[in-house]
Amino acid sequence: GAGVSQSPSNKVTEKGKDVELRCDPISGHTALYWYRQRLGQGLEFLIYFQGNSAPDKSGLPSDRFSAERTGESVSTLTIQRTQQEDSAVYLCASSWTGRESPLHFGNGTRLTVT
């Protein structure tokens, strides 16, 4: 079956512009996660959605970052007034309801801010 799909795969934007990154989770997965990975670094947790519960936003680095999720489907990560330090790969993952369930990752969106 289809895995986690992210679009676009690459995005180049000018400093100060807003960007939207999209994630289509695996069908039926109720939990959805966003991570950021800077070049040569590990994954940084950003935000986590679980069903109808309030999202865990504890990893969002600033108020320029926000994310929405429509029901148990598509999610959009928005970065406003982009800065050069926002350049990174943004990874989305999804999982089943059970908290033991492993996360399944997409291949990410590579964002370059010039």
Strand partners, 11: 111
Asked if 99 touches another protein (CB under 8 A), the answer is: yes
* Residue 11 sits in the site that holds another protein (CB under 8 A): no
The count of other CB atoms within 10 Å of the CB of residue 106 is 20
From the list 77, 71, 69, the residue with the least C-alpha distance to 44 is 77
**Cβ 44 vs Cβ 59: under 8 Å:** yes
Query: Between 74 and 80, whose beta carbon lies closer to another protein?
Result: 74
Q: In the stretch 48-87, what mask flags binding to another protein with x, by CB under 8 A?
A: x-x-----x--x----------------------------
Residues in contact with another protein by CB under 8 A are: 4, 31, 33, 35, 42-45, 48, 50, 56, 59, 91, 93, 99-100, 102-108
